[in-house]
Amino acid sequence: MPTTDYRKFLDPDVISRLKSMELKARLVVEGFITGLHKSPYHGFSVEFAEHRQYMPGDAIRNIDWKVFAKSDRYFVKEFEEETNLKSYILLDASRSMHYTSGKISKFDYAASFAAALSFLMLKQRDAAGMVVFDERIRHYVPPKSASVHLHALLTTLAGVEPSGATNAASALHEMAERIKRRGLIIVLSDLFDDPTRVLAGLKHFRHRKHEVLVFHILDPAERDFTFTEEALFKDLETGEEISTLPWQIRSEYQRSLRAHVDRYRRECRSAFIDYVPIDTQVPYDFALVSYLSKRQRLF
């Protein structure tokens, strides 16, 4: 890939025009990796499996002498069960995720990001799984680390359309009970649900010793409420409608949204949950670096 082109494959608008989920995932990840080599994200690597740097006390027999000969540095071999991470991507497919004020909906952004995450995880030889939910769990693909598993994950994503009401808390609690082995839980959602119940579901994962990373995905119009004309707003999940003059309620709306986001940020921090607010205009490398940072802290 020409180095001058990699940035465009991190642009959600460009990626949204592609039809193939596999192509979306591959281009985002390849653009991201190219960017890691040239951008401000120094210190990150996508080569996690198989080796780690030698530490005092490690068995000398595990040193990889071929790597030493090439790099003049000591690395030890690790077995697959020591290096592989089981990750579960929980994707909100409720009807509110269908909203868009521009060219890409919250769901399309989240699905493309989930595809890129899956591609990157399997490239690192981690086990990737997928959960799609609205008011119930609609799809569950158990995690596997084989490269051929990518087809199952991407096929699942490609076949999903947002529908149904939101009941994130129920899906979170169900999966917290179902997943037995400690892993990394990644939630992609607009979090338009009762925050008390959602936070209880997220903390349930922490109680079960999982690591948790939450991407709070919003549309820029939902974040800034920049509507300028009299408008009829309709709830995509309940059908409830309200006619209003946006400029009359903008300040109160923004205050309420800030309080909503601040609560998630505050309570996630206190529970040692990584919380990343993000909107659908943000390039995918920002989100991928957040994931990569979390993963590196686990090893």
Structural domain including 66 reads 51-80
Beta strands in the chain (DSSP E): 51-53, 75-77, 86-92, 127-133, 137-144, 184-189, 211-218, 231-234, 241-244, 274-279
Q: Which segments of the chain have a pLDDT < 50?
A: 1, 3, 48-49, 79-82
Which pLDDT score is estimated for 43? 59
Residue 8 CB coordination number (10 Å): 13
**Is 34 inside any structural domain?**
no
The answer on 106 and 56 residing in a single domain is: no
The answer on 105 and 58 residing in a single domain is: no
Q: What is the dihedral of CA 255, 285, 115, 34, to 10 degrees?
A: 170
Domains identified in the chain, total number? 2
Give residue-wise pLDDT tens across range 23-54.
Answer: 999 999 999 888 876 666 655 655 544 556 66
Which pLDDT score is estimated for 234? 85
Which pLDDT score is estimated for 49? 45
Among the listed residues 134, 92, 93, 102, the one whose alpha carbon sits nearest the alpha carbon of residue 222 = 102
pTM: 0.84
The C-alpha atoms of residue 12 and residue 14 are separated, in whole angstroms, by 6
The answer on 216 and 157 residing in a single domain is: yes
**Is 206 inside any structural domain?**
yes
The answer on 58 and 204 residing in a single domain is: no
The answer on 90 and 190 residing in a single domain is: yes
Which pLDDT score is estimated for 164? 85
The answer on 283 and 155 residing in a single domain is: yes
The answer on 163 and 292 residing in a single domain is: yes
C-alpha distances out from residue 1 to 6, 40, 63, 235, 283, Å: 7, 19, 35, 43, 18
Which pLDDT score is estimated for 196? 97
Which pLDDT score is estimated for 37? 67
The answer on 219 and 171 residing in a single domain is: yes
Residue 26 contacts residue 46 (beta carbons within 8 Å): no
C-alpha distances out from residue 95 to 43, 47, 237, Å: 39, 37, 6
Give residue-wise pLDDT tens across range 88-143.
Answer: 999 999 999 999 998 899 999 999 999 999 999 998 889 999 999 999 999 999 99
**Is 277 inside any structural domain?**
yes
Which pLDDT score is estimated for 48? 44
Which residues does 250 contact at the CB level (< 8 Å), separation at least 6?
225, 227
Taking the alpha carbons of 36, 37, 40, 46 in that order, is the dihedral positive or negative? positive
**Is 115 inside any structural domain?**
yes
Among the listed residues 188, 218, 213, the one whose alpha carbon sits nearest the alpha carbon of residue 106 = 218
**Is 260 inside any structural domain?**
yes
The answer on 204 and 241 residing in a single domain is: yes
In degrees and rounded to multiples of 5, residue 45 shows phi and psi of -145, 150
The C-alpha atoms of residue 25 and residue 288 are separated, in whole angstroms, by 12
Instruction: Burial-class residue 211 by CB neighbours within 10 Å (0-12, 13-18, 19+).
Output: buried
126: CATH: 3.40.50.410
Which pLDDT score is estimated for 39? 63
The answer on 166 and 72 residing in a single domain is: no
**Is 196 inside any structural domain?**
yes
Coil, strand, or helix at residue 206?
Answer: helix
The answer on 269 and 184 residing in a single domain is: yes
